[in-house]
Amino acid sequence: MILKCRIPLAAFVLDVDAAFDARVTCIFGPSGSGKTTLLDATAGLREIAAGEIVIDGKILFSSTRNVNLSPQERSIGYVPQEAALFPHLSVRRNILYGEGRKQTGPGSRLELDHVIKLLEIGHLLDRPVKSLSGGESQRVALARALLSRPQLLLLDEPLASLDIGLKERIIPYLRRVRDEFGIPMIYVTHDPVEVLSLANWVIMIKEGRLVAQGIPHEVLMSSLVLSQLDKDQLENVFDAALLDSDVGGGRSRVRLMSGQELFIPYTPGPTNRPLQIGIRGDDILVAIKAPEGISAGNVIRGIVRNIERAGGQAILRVEAGEAFYVRLTYSAIERLRLAAGGAVFLIIKTRSCIVL
């Protein structure tokens, strides 16, 4: 996809020039950086001063070729931050509105029953939309967008208005959409966890300018981006498989893709159930000797690969099968005499491992 837009705004000029080919591309950045404007321009809802937008060889907009397809001609499904369902229609009729706007993009093979089953909304079909929770509304809006058979799916911070518990329940549905359908997605967010959980590619913009793009872990853990993240935004996100659970002990054991095992809070489910585990970089302690007599459930030996200094903080990248990112103070780095190539032990409480 080619996404090249120049749009004068009140505070700055949005000027982005990016090309990418990924299943899910996240547009990431702080509030007010122009993310939603860029999404609206892609959908044909915002006037562009100059640029070019091309999806799978189809030109949607080109200032040099005098092409500007209407929103209806772009074969795009749009899920806004607020679900924007029709309040006078039932869930079923909202979804069927999307079904009635069939297109011929990668989603042309989608079937109504399959989408309803995938998003687990069959029990909601006859309910009025006013009775839906925030998470239910987002799933219904996603179903409606999918059933328009889009060539591209746009999602504008769909989880921003939800609390943490609801976010954790909705992310798996978005991953199902990503993995089961061949529809490329552009996903706007300011939350690194959502980027790491969903995206194959990330574009970071700030004040209308593209400041970084690439593979999510590489971009989000670069010194350029780390210096701009809030204190609680440094996250480690890992794919894992559930090995076993001990309800009496209150914990479960999982295996990461590298083979590294972790104890997490008790999580029911069948053996080998796929999970995603999140660990905040501030919740990991570092020791230079193997600790003894501690309550933390996880002690992992690793090698320091890199130390980034940015924004008054230090970020360690520790290789322990997986790459773990840890935030420390400069004084901790100096006190422990940490350096690239040195062996360390990561100490992670069981309850610091969050199932996403």
pLDDT > 90? residue 86 = no
Cβ atoms of residues 1 and 203 within 8 Å: no
CA–CA dist 340, 342 (Å, integer):
6
For the segment 244-249, the average pLDDT, to the nearest whole number, is: 93
CA–CA dist 330, 327 (Å, integer):
10
For the segment 97-107, the average pLDDT, to the nearest whole number, is: 55
Q: What domains sit in the chain, N to C, each tagged with a CATH number? A: 2-220 (3.40.50.300), 235-355 (2.40.50.100)
- Across 19-33, 163-177, 232-246, least confident range: 163-177
pLDDT classification of 220: cutoffs 50, 70, 90:
confident
Q: What is the mean pLDDT of the chain?
A: 87
CA dihedral angle for residue 326, residue 283, residue 174, residue 122, rounded to 10 degrees: 170
Three-state secondary-structure class, residue 112 = helix
CA–CA dist 97, 317 (Å, integer):
48
CA–CA dist 264, 353 (Å, integer):
5
For the segment 80-109, the average pLDDT, to the nearest whole number, is: 72
Burial of 66 (0-12, 13-18, 19+ CB in 10 A): exposed
pLDDT > 60? residue 232 = no
pLDDT at position 109 is 46
For the segment 76-93, the average pLDDT, to the nearest whole number, is: 86
pLDDT at position 129 is 87
Q: What are the beta bridge partners of residue 304?
A: 318
Give the contacts of 246 (CB within 8 A, at least 6 positions apart): 252, 266
pLDDT at position 180 is 84
Q: Residue 323's closest CA among 249, 228, 257, 254?
A: 257
First CA to last CA distance, the chain: 29
pLDDT in tens, 277-329: 889 888 999 999 999 999 999 999 999 998 987 666 788 889 999 889 898 98
Structure tokens at 176: 């199902």
pLDDT in tens, 161-196: 777 667 777 888 888 888 888 889 999 998 888 888
For the segment 74-103, the average pLDDT, to the nearest whole number, is: 80
Q: Residue 153's closest CA among 79, 259, 219, 80?
A: 79
Structure tokens at 210: 């593209």
DSSP letter at 62 equals E
pLDDT classification of 223: cutoffs 50, 70, 90:
low
pLDDT classification of 152: cutoffs 50, 70, 90:
very high
What's the whole-model pTM score?
0.74
- Across 60-64, 80-84, 246-250, 329-333, least confident range: 80-84
pLDDT classification of 210: cutoffs 50, 70, 90:
very high
CA–CA dist 330, 313 (Å, integer):
6
pLDDT in tens, 52-67: 999 989 999 999 999 9
pLDDT at position 229 is 63
For the segment 195-219, the average pLDDT, to the nearest whole number, is: 90
Q: What are the beta bridge partners of residue 346?
A: 286, 300
Per cent of the chain over pLDDT 70 is 91
pLDDT > 60? residue 107 = no
pLDDT at position 106 is 46
pLDDT classification of 234: cutoffs 50, 70, 90:
low
